[in-house]
Structure 1
Amino acid sequence: MQRAEELRIVLNDAAASSSRNSSQGSGGGGWSSSDEEEADPMDQDEEGSGSGKNERFNAHRKAHYDEFRKVKELRSSGSFYEEEEEEDDGAKGSKSETTTTSRHTKGGNKELDAATTSKTNLLNTTMANEKAQEMANLSSQICNQISSVFTKPTSPYPPPLDLLVTELAAISRNRNNSRIFLYGVGREGLMLKAFAMRLFHLGLSTHLVFDMTTPPISSSDLLIASAGPGGFSTVDAICSVAKSNGAKVILITAEPETGSCVEHATDVCYVPAQTMASDNGGDVAAEMGERPLLPMGSVYEGALFVLFEMVVYKLGDVLGESSESVRARHTNLE
């Protein structure tokens, strides 16, 4: 590449000198690049010397002639073009190397992105597994705490499952004349509403107290009311009205000995669970001064839900109800 550059400089200098000499010389005595194929310029130098031209001018012409001869030899041998080709090849090689490097860089970036994505997915999976395990542990503790309610003895009161199934089966045998009413407050009331829906699905005439379509209660009817802590003013009043009209009253409670509602009950359904009346003790976390897993009346309310599901299952067997018949009674106005 350096040699080619030197040759270009020589050519440029020769062309410039030839142009100057042509303007300074007389007539056709000047030198130009087009004279390469003409007579030997040295012969012209000899003729020129006879006409009085100075030796310095002849020396310049001889030097230019030597330069052109050198260029002519290089062109004929092809070395000048070979160096230019080598320069082009070098540029192409450099470009190829740059492209290859760029491809390697892109490939490396893709591998890095893939590795990062893999690590992120692994981290997300690990976190998801940890969260799932945490939920499994909490749900297990909650379910164990609720299920422990049904391991406690209820005597002298009958087992709550047997009591409810027996009384509801008796109502179903006289379903044309007997109806079931249910009432509770707060979260207990929500559990009783869910229970009422399932009793209706089993084909029983069921009503929630204070609904707009609730009929009057009579002596052939049954009221099921809940008062976990033993007494609520509204529950007291409802049970009192039902009893005064001759209806049977079943009171579900966790405090059968101290509650005010018991005096209006025909039968007591004892569910020995923690309520707001006893949420200061009985829980291991509370005894250790920690926040309880199920506060206030949550254990009792959860126990009601489980108890009612057991009643629906057992009562369905007694009544001979199938899954299809139960589903057929579900509303289509949803």
Structure 2
Amino acid sequence: MQITQYLSKILQELSPSVGLVSDEDAEKLVNGILEAKKIFVAGAGRSGLMGKSFVMRMMHMELDAYVIGETVTPNFEKDDILIIGSGSGSTKSLVAMAEKAKAIGGKIAAVTINPDSAIGELSDMTIKLPGIPKEESQNEATIQPMGSLFEQTLLLFYDAVILRFMEKKGLNSSTMFCRHANLE
């Protein structure tokens, strides 16, 4: 198969995702971000990389947003929100973060395939994304390896949240560009 044929198949797999995401749940996340003093994002592996992309865009919008685990990440407080992207919703290190955030009294949002997971149960808001857990990806429901379908959907979902936030705050790419890195 040619690269363009693989790309076409991947896009065919992603396309139905739009109809499987709840606008109501997504809007709760947007409002949670608007209400938060600071925004923290966590994820393991490739889901964590999607989260880093999300935090970068929030920084461009002048939000106080951080990636968990970076050296410049401040402390989490009760007026903050922790957004966890996790396909399984049961990654032990992420569960521990959610438990600690809950004990501090902040808000937790889970973006996951499995809302009934440990992280989903700890969360104040849960956004269910389509995808196939990496351990089940060999069942021919996707041509992609492991959790790729979820991770791609997660990136696109985060970008859609950014667009909604831009709409609500009257921002555009030009107003955000002034915060783009300039020492590259």
State the match for 1:330 in structure 2.
180
- How far off its partner does 1:216 sit? 1.0
Larger Rg: 1
> Quick one: which amino acid aligns to residue 219 of structure 1?
K
Q: Kindly provide the CA deviation profile for residues 46-102 of structure 1, in whole angstroms up to 9, marking residues without a partner as x.
A: xxxxxxxxxxxxxxxxxxxxxxxxxxxxxxxxxxxxxxxxxxxxxxxxxxxxxxxxx
Structure 1 residues not aligned, in runs of 5+: 1-130, 172-177, 284-291
Query: Residue 39 of structure 2 contacts residue 80 of structure 2 at CA under 8 Å; is this kept in 1?
Result: yes
TM-score, length of structure 1 as denominator length: 0.52
* Structure 2: segments with no counterpart, 5+ residues: none
Matched, 1:308 2:158: yes
Alignment partners' CA distance in 2, 1:302 and 1:243: 28
Paired with 1:282 and 1:181, the residues of 2 have a C-alpha distance of 35
Q: In the TM superposition, what is the alpha-carbon distance from 1:293 to its structure 2 partner?
A: 2.0
Query: Is 2:6 the partner of 1:143?
Result: no
2:21/2:128 contact within 8 Å kept: no
Equivalent of 2:71 in 199, 205, 212: 212
Match of 1:95 in 2: none
Pairwise CA RMSD of aligned residues?
1.9
What is aligned with 2:32? 167
Structure that is richer in helix per residue: 1
Q: CA deviation at 1:208?
A: 1.0
Task: Look up the equivalent residue of 2:155 and give its one-letter code.
Answer: F
Go from structure 1 to structure 2 and tell me whether the alpha carbon gap of 1:153 and 1:249 turns closer, same or farther (over 3 Å shift).
Answer: closer
CA apart distance, 1:326: 0.5
Greater fraction of residues in strand: 2
Q: Percent identity?
A: 27
What secondary structure is seen at the aligned counterpart in 1 of 2:87?
coil
Cα separation, 2, equivalents of 1:201 and 1:229: 29
Establish whether residue 297 from structure 1 lines up as the match of residue 147 from structure 2: yes
In the TM superposition, residue 333 of structure 1 has moved relative to its aligned partner by 2.6
Change (3 A) 1:248 1:186: same
**1:237 aligns to 2:96 (yes or no):** yes
Higher relative contact order by CA 8 Å / sep ≥ 6: 1 or 2?
2
2:45 is the counterpart of 1:195:
no
Distance 1:159 1:280 in 2: 32
Say if 1:159 and 1:269, in contact at 8 Å, map to a contact too: no
- The answer on whether the counterparts of 1:226 and 1:235 sit within 8 Å (CA) in structure 2 is no
Query: How far off its partner does 1:309 sit?
Result: 1.2
Which residue does the alignment assign to 1:269? 127
Return the alpha-carbon distance in structure 2 between the equivalents of residues 160 and 280 of structure 1: 30
Secondary structure of 1:332's counterpart equals coil
Amino acid in the other structure paired with 2:77: S
Displacement of 1:186 after TM fit? 0.3
Moved over 6 A (4+): none
1:278 to 131, 136, 148: 136
Q: Give the Cα–Cα distance (whole angstroms) in 1 for the partners of residues 3 and 165 of structure 2.
A: 33
> 1:252 aligns to what SS in structure 2?
strand
**Contact 1:228/1:300 (8 A) holds in 2:** yes
CA distance in 2, matches of 1:323, 1:295: 33
Tell me the residue number matched to 1:119: none
Residues 115 and 121 in structure 2, CA contact (< 8 A), matched pair in contact too: no
Alpha-carbon distance change, 282 to 260 in structure 1, aligned in 2, over 3 angstroms: farther
